[in-house]
A and B are shown apart, each in its own frame.
Chain A
Amino acid sequence: MSVASLAPLAVALPMLGAALAFVLIRHPRAQRRVSLAILALTLALEVLVLAVVWTSGPVAVHLGGWAPPFGIVMVADQFSSLLLVVSSAVSLSVLVFASGQGAADGEEGGPVSVFHPTYLILVAGVSNAFLAGDLFNLYVGFEILLTASYVLMTLGGTGSRIRAGITYVVVSVVSSMLFLIAIAMVYGATGTVTLADLAVKLGQLDPGTQHVLHVLLLVAFGIKAAVFPLSFWLPDSYPTAPAPVTAVFAGLLTKVGVYAIIRTETLLFPTDHFNAVLLWVALLTMVVGILGALAQTDIKRLLSFTLVSHIGYMIFGVGLSSVAGLAATIFYVIHHITIQTSLFMVTGLVERRGGTSAILRLGGLAKLSPVLAVLYFIPAMNLAGIPPFSGFLGKLGLLQAGVADGSPLAYTLVVGGVVASLLTLLVMARVWNRVFWRSTADAEDPDPVLLATAPDASGGRSMRALRTSRYVDATEGRFSGEDEIPILPRMMVYSTMGLVALGVALSVFAGPLFELSRHAAEGMLARTPYIEAVLGAGAQTGVAP
C-alpha cells in the first residue's frame, strides 16, 4: 500500500469538484474557487504519485478488491503518471485563464456558469483514460471527456459553434463506435478486456484476427488523435470554440488519442506488422498538416493545422518502435501539450487585445503590447524547434532515433520531419511578421479595437488597458457593455505566463525529463513490469518478448 494507490483519486476528485461546482452554479465566485482548489489538489496528488511510480515502477489499483482479470483495474505507470501531471498542470492554468476571462467580462448566470463543472468532468475523463487498465474503462474515459467536450465546444450556442459542433460530435461518435466495435471483437476473441491480460492472450490468436483487431483499434484512436487521413475534422471544429476551450482541447484531447495508440502499439500488439504503415501515416500527417497551415489567415485555424502536423512527429516515434524513438515520443508529447496550449492561450489574448484573430486585420501588436509579443514569441520558436528549446530537443531525439533505425523509410521520415519543422518556422514567422512586427497602419483592414486602443504604457498598465463602449461602435454588439472591461485581465496574462514558463522549464530540465522518458519507454517496450504489476509476478509466462 503506497501513495500511488491513491491514483484513482485523480478521477474521483475532479468528479467531486464537478458536483460541487454544479451545486454552486448560482455563486460564480465560490464556483471558481472550488474548481481551482480541486484541480490544484489533484495536481499535488498526481505529483506525489509520479514521485512514487518513478522509482517503484507501475502500480496497479484493483478497484473494489476484485482480482485482476475480472475486476476493474487502474494502472499508474511512469508514462501515464507523467501525462497525468502535465495534463493537470496545463488544465489548471487554462482554468485560471478561463476564470480570469469570466471574472473580467462578468458573464455570470449565462451559459458560462456551466463551464466550470463541465471542465472538471473533462479533466476527470482525461485522467480516467490515462489510468484505465482495461479497454472498456478506456472507452468510458473517452466518452466522459468527449461528452464534456461536446458541451464546451458548443458553449453559448452561436451559429458557427453549432455548425462546428455538429461535425465534431458526429465524427467523435463514429470513432467511439469503431472503438466499441473493436472492444466487442476483442472480447469475442479473447474473453477479456483487461489490458495486461490482453497483452498475454492477443499474442496467442490467429495472425489474421490479430491484424483485424489491431487495425480497428488504430483507426478508432487515429480519428481521436487526428492523424492524417482521419484529421479533417480538427481544423474545422477547434477554432470556433471559446479561447480557453480550444486551448485545452488542443493540448489534451488529441494526446489522449496518441496515448491510446502508444498503448496499443507497445502493450497490446508489440509486433512490427503495421510499423511501416504508421511511419507513412506520420510522414503524411507532418507534411499535409503544415501545408494546410500555410494557406490559413486566421491564427486559431493556423494553429489547429500545426497541431495536426505535430501529431505526425509523435506517430513517427511510435512507428520506429525502438526505445530511443518511444522515449523521444514521450518527451515530445509532454512538450507539445504545454506549447500548443500556451500558443492557443496567447491567441486568446491577442483576440482580446486586437479584437480579432484574423491575421490580415492585425498589426503592430509588438508595439501596442510587448507582453503579448514575448508571450507569443517564446512558444512559437519552441514549436518550430529553435535550438535552446524543448521543441528542438524532442525533434532531435526523434531524428536521432530515425537515423539509428537506418531504413530508407526512416530516413525519408527524418527528411520529412526537418521539412515540416522548417515550414512550421515559416508559418510562425509569418504570424509574427504580420500580427506583431508590421505597423498597425499596414494591416489590410484593421480591426476597430486595434485602431481605437492606445499603445500600452510600460509595465502593469498594459494589463489595465480598457475596452469600453466608447471605443467600439455599439451596433457591432460585441463590446457594447456599459462597464469598463480590462482588455488583458491579470489572471489571464499571468496564467499564460505560467504556462509559457513551464514550457521553458521543460527545456531547462530536459535532461532528467528525457531520462524519465527513456525509463518509461524501456518499461513499456519490455512489457513485463506493467503485466506483472497488474496480474502479479509469474503471470506473464506466455509472453513472447
Chain B
Amino acid sequence: MSVNLTLLLVMGVLYAIGIYLLLERSLTRVLLGLMLLANATNLLLLATGGYAGLAPVFHKDIPAAAYNDPLPQAFILTSIVISFAVTAFMLSLVYRSWLLSRADQIQDDREDLRVARQDLFDAEEDSEIAIEVSDFHENNQPAASREMIRQVTLKTAKARGQHPGGGHGPGSRPGTGGGA
C-alpha cells in the first residue's frame, strides 16, 4: 500500500501543533488543540483507506486493488460527528467558565491546594494524649516528651481557636491543660 506523503506531513504538523496547544493553560487554546488532534486523526484514518484517485466504491467489474476502501471513510464520518458534538460542548463549558470566573484559564482545585498545604504532622491525631489531666501520669514522662505534649496542645488550641463554633465541648480543654 502506497501512502500519500502530503497527507502524512499535514497530519504530523497537525499533531505537533495540537499537542502544543493542548499543553497551554488557556482553555480556548486547549480546545483548538483538541480540534487539531481530531482532524489529524481523521487524516490518519483516511490514509488507511488507500491513496487518492482510486474508484470510490466497489463495483463487481473493478479488481479489488483498484478501488478505495470505503470503511475508513465511514469511520471518519462518525469521528467528525463525535468531535463536532464534543467541540460544541467544550465551547459551552469554556463560555460558562468565562461567565463564572472571568478567566480563560484552567482553574486550580481548591481542595487540592488545601491538601497540599496541610501539615505532615496532624496535631488532631495526637491531641488525645494532651487531654490527660492526671498530673501523676504526666510526671512519669521524661521532660522532653512533656515539652512536646505542651507544644502540641498549644498548637491544637490555637488551631481550634480559629474556627467559629469549635470552642465548646472537650475541644476547649487542651488550652487550659497546656497552660498548667
Contacts and interface: CB of A to CB of B under 8 A. Distances in A.
Interface of A: 136, 140, 143, 147, 150-151, 154, 157, 159-160, 162-167, 169-170, 173-174, 176-177, 180-181, 183-185, 187-188, 191, 193, 236, 239, 295-298, 301, 439, 441-442, 444-446, 451
Given A295-B115, A445-B163, A162 B41 contact: no
B157 interface: no
A106 to B, nearest CB: 25
Contacts of B164: 445
What is the interface of chain A mostly: helix, strand, loop, or mixed? helix
A183 B42 CA distance: 11
Contact of B166 (A157, A297, A439, A444): A444
B106 interface: yes
A140 B78 contact: yes
A45 to B, nearest CB: 27
Query: Which 3 pairs from chain A and chain B are nearest by CB?
Result: A441-B169, A188-B48, A445-B163
Contact of A169 (B69, B78, B86, B170): B86
Contacts of B110: 160
B44 A184 contact: yes
Of A150, A164, A239, most B-chain CB atoms within 10 Å: A150
11 contacts: A159-B101, A170-B30, A177-B37, A184-B72, A185-B48, A188-B48, A295-B118, A298-B111, A441-B169, A442-B169, A442-B170
B162 to A, nearest CB: 9
Contact of A147 (B85, B101, B163): B85
Interface string B157-177: 000100111101111000000
Nearest to B78: A140
Interface in B43-79: 44-45, 47-48, 69, 71-72, 75, 78-79
A160 B101 CA distance: 11
B133 interface: no
A446 B107 CA distance: 28
A143 B163 contact: no
A169 B124 contact: no
A445 B166 contact: yes
Interface of B: 1, 22, 27, 30, 34, 37-38, 41, 44-45, 47-48, 69, 71-72, 75, 78-79, 82-83, 85-86, 89-90, 93-94, 96-97, 100-101, 106-107, 109-112, 115, 118, 124, 160, 163-166, 168-171
Contact of B89 (A147, A193, A295): A147
A23 B17 CA distance: 43
Nearest to B48: A188
B44 to A, nearest CB: 5
B89 A150 contact: yes
Given A157-B96, A187-B72, 8 more contacts: A140-B78, A159-B100, A163-B97, A163-B107, A166-B27, A166-B97, A169-B90, A441-B171
A296 B111 CA distance: 9
Nearest to B30: A170
B89 A169 contact: yes
Nearest to B168: A441
Contacts of A151: 89
Contacts of A187: 45, 48, 71-72, 75
Nearest to B72: A187
A159 B107 CA distance: 10
Nearest to B109: A236
Given A159-B100, A170-B30, A177-B38, A147 B160 contact: no
Nearest to A136: B75
Contacts of A173: 34, 83, 86, 90
A160 B165 CA distance: 27
A74 to B, nearest CB: 17
Given A150-B89, A166-B27, A442 B163 contact: no
